[in-house]
Amino acid sequence: MVKHDKEFEILLKEFLKTEGKHFSSKEEATEVFERIYNLVDAGYEIDASLSDLVDAIDEGDMSVVDKISALRELHEGNRDALDRAVELEEDIMYSDNDEDAEQMIIADVLAEYYSEAGMNEEAAKLYELMLMANPSDFHEVIDLLTLMYVRLDRENLLMDHIDCFDYEDSEATLLLLAIFSINQEKFDEAHYYMTKLKKLNKYVGDIFKGGFNKVLDYIVGTSGNVKGANKEKSFEMQFSAGIAKEYLTNKYHYELLEKFYREDIEKKQSLIVEGRKTVSKEAMREDPIFKGMDKQLNKLIDVELYNKEIIECYTEKELKKLDGIGVGIIKKLKDNGVRFKED
């Protein structure tokens, strides 16, 4: 506890005058001030940085609710640089003003508390703001925003988000997409994303080496004896597992992810998932294999026969078993150059 001498009282009074508006009570503000006062060896200066305030709130003994309240007030009073960067389409990373970077720190810590408290909407909005204000230097924020959209079950926002970067080069994104697909009960898509992840990073198997009871040890442990470029890949996989910790430590998700990791995906299944994501009637009308079949396109889409490559994975007998696919459609496909798989 700080000794309440005359210097302390004078400085506290000034602190309450200039910074008290960021706190819900005088007691909260006083507790934060005491921590800042102790952080500085030579004593507290009235113009202490915003990062000192954030550290004091973060390390304080307040409840999570009170910390969120204090950080929210601090953020709302210190976000002009972020809003300006978004409005002018600039990158705050290139600002010469130290306080601009500190505004990012406030937003980052507040978003983390929002996330821990299950306030996913609020966390997502902050991560969106941070990405718009600093698009060049926030790879981790990209992953955390992906996680928020998975938690919120927002497919449109998630798909729009991952379209903004090369998601197939991101271990965390592929893992979270597999988890999202499981949540949606789109198990073929979960299998597809785990296959992509396995090709991207061979260390994905480390998640499943010790079984479900050891997965938390893997997440919080070290990358072991891996060296060189492989160490970076091993670390990236472990970091991605940490992002998805809440799902990997859920037995339902873990066992399905392991199943999709260990089993090879069929070529047809992979092609269907890819076709599902890109299909449009306009593109199908321009495809020569569907010439003269405009009235049958809905039937073909319903059974996910999106292109020649998919259709040629089926035998003629298999096609006839699909709902709505009769002799007439099969004949037209043949006439347009499709060659079915041999029985």
What value does the mean pLDDT take over residues 304-326? 96
Q: How many percent of the chain have pLDDT more than 90?
A: 64
What is the torsion angle, in degrees rounded to the nearest 10, for the CA atoms of residue 63, residue 68, residue 69 and residue 71?
Answer: 120
Q: Which two tokens stand for residue 267?
A: 């070529």
The domain total for the chain is 2
Span 130-148, mean pLDDT? 88
How many CA within 13 A on the CB side of residue 242?
Answer: 12
| 192 neighbors 273 (Cβ within 8 angstroms) | yes
Instruction: Answer yes or no: is 243 within a domain.
Output: yes
Q: How many CA atoms within 13 Å lie on the side-chain side of 341?
A: 14
What are the structure tokens assigned to 223, written together?
Answer: 């990358």
**Radius of gyration from C-alpha coordinates of the chain:** 27
274 in the same domain as 244: no
Query: Residue 282: is it exposed, middle or buried by C-beta count within 10 angstroms (0-12/13-18/19+)?
Result: exposed
In a shared domain, residues 200 and 254:
yes
Return the bridge partners of 315, or none: 341
276 lies in some domain? yes
Closest to 130 (Cα-Cα) out of 150, 145, 114, 149: 145
The answer on pLDDT for 1 being more than 60 is no
Give pLDDT, residue 308: 96
- Bigger pLDDT: 137 or 248? 248
Contact 261, 198 (CB under 8 A): yes
Q: For residue 73, which amino acid is it?
A: E
Is residue 294 located within the same domain as residue 226?
A: no
Q: Are residues 311 and 280 in the same domain?
A: yes
Determine the structural domain holding residue 289 and report its residue range.
268-335
**Torsion sign over Cα 167, 173, 175, 178:** negative
Domain assignment present for residue 17? The answer is no
* Tokens standing for residue 36: 């800042």
Does the structure show a pLDDT above 70 at 305? yes
Do 215 and 279 have their domain in common?
A: no
Rounded to an integer, what distance in angstroms lies between the CA atom of residue 253 and that of residue 246? 10
On whether both 278 and 241 belong to a single domain, the answer is: no
CA distances from 297 to 72, 142, 281, 323, 337 (A): 52, 37, 7, 13, 17
Residue 341 dihedral angles phi and psi, to the nearest 5°: -65, 140
pLDDT at 221: 85
Tell me which of 265, 293, 312 is where a domain ends.
265
Instruction: Quick: pLDDT tens for 273-296.
Output: 999 988 999 999 999 999 999 999
**Does position 10 have pLDDT exceeding 70, yes or no?**
no
Residue at 89 is within a domain: no
CA distance 304 to 340: 16
Contact yes or no for 272/188 (Cβ under 8 A):
yes
Mean pLDDT of 226-236: 81
Q: Give the mean pLDDT of 69-94.
A: 88
pLDDT in the model for residue 90:
87
- The string of pLDDT tens digits covering residues 96-120 is 888 888 899 999 999 999 999 999 9
**pLDDT bucket at 37, cuts 50 / 70 / 90:** low
Ranking 59-68, 77-86, 209-218 by mean pLDDT, the lowest is 59-68
Residue 288 lies in a domain: yes
Q: Is residue 311 part of a domain?
A: yes
Q: Is residue 73 part of a domain?
A: no
Q: Is the pLDDT of residue 31 over 80?
A: no
pLDDT at position 34 is 74
Measure the CA–CA gap between 57 and 3, rounded to whole angstroms.
20
End-of-domain residue from the set 265, 292, 321: 265
Distance between CA atoms of residues 109 and 56, nearest Å: 12
- Looking at the predicted structure, is the pLDDT value of residue 224 above 70? no
| C-alpha 166: how far from chain center | 13
pLDDT for the residue 246: 97
pLDDT bucket at 13, cuts 50 / 70 / 90? confident
* pLDDT tops 90 at residue 139: no
Q: Which of 248, 265, 282 is the last residue of a domain?
A: 265
* C-beta separation of 272 from 306 below 8 A: yes
Considering the domain architecture, whether residues 176 and 261 belong to the same structural domain is answered as yes
Q: Name the residue among 2, 37, 3 with its Cα closest to residue 19.
A: 37
| % pLDDT > 70, the chain | 90
Judged against a pLDDT cut of 50, whether residue 309 lies above it is answered with yes
Residues 279 and 215 in one domain: no
| 133 pLDDT higher than 80 | yes
Considering the entire predicted model, what is its pTM? 0.82
Evaluate if residue 43 carries a pLDDT over 80. Answer: no
Alpha-carbon distance of 58 to 51, in angstroms, equals: 10
